[in-house]
């Protein structure tokens, strides 16, 4: 319900009882990011398992919001390893955003790389859909 500040104490309590609770860690990281508490959000997300899609996607978003494009791209590249067919469009969109910001910053090679990755994800999604 977008009540990030209200959810923070509840999520911290849940993590206090179960420090490795993946859902609580992801939700807390997202809540902290939405509140602009980037350092705390990064710390929480890094405690989450980075062997799945969502923490890497959220870290990519976090770094992108801060203008840390290289770190955002690295996090999203880790997310590529774990992306499911349902998440491909979201990840492609994130690469597109990073590509746009690289382009605005005059980093055309980086932008081209991000755009290629976005296109590859979109094409993989179309291939999977056509096989079904």
The model's pLDDT over 78-114, given as tens digits with 9 standing for 90+, comes to 999 999 999 999 999 999 999 999 999 999 999 999 9
pLDDT at 49 over 70: yes
Q: How far apart are CA 29 and CA 73, in angstroms?
A: 18
pTM of the model: 0.88
Treating both helix axes as pointing N-terminal to C-terminal, what angle do 22-34 and 4-17 enclose, rounded to 10 degrees?
150
Please count the other Cβ atoms lying within 10 Å of the Cβ belonging to residue 23: 12
């Amino acid at each position: 319900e977008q009540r990030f500040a209200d959810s923070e104490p509840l999520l911290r309590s849940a993590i206090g009882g179960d420090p490795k609770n993946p859902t609580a860690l992801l939700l807390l990281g997202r809540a902290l990011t939405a509140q602009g508490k980037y350092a705390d959000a990064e710390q929480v997300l890094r405690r989450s398992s980075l062997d799945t899609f969502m923490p890497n996607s959220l870290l990519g978003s976090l770094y992108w919001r801060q203008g840390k494009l290289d770190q955002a791209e690295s996090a999203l590249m880790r997310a590529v390893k774990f992306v499911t067919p349902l998440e491909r469009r979201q990840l492609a969109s994130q690469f597109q955003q990073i590509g746009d910001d690289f382009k605005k910053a005059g980093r055309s090679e980086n932008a081209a790389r991000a755009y290629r990755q976005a296109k590859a994800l979109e094409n993989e999604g179309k291939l999977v859909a056509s096989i079904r």
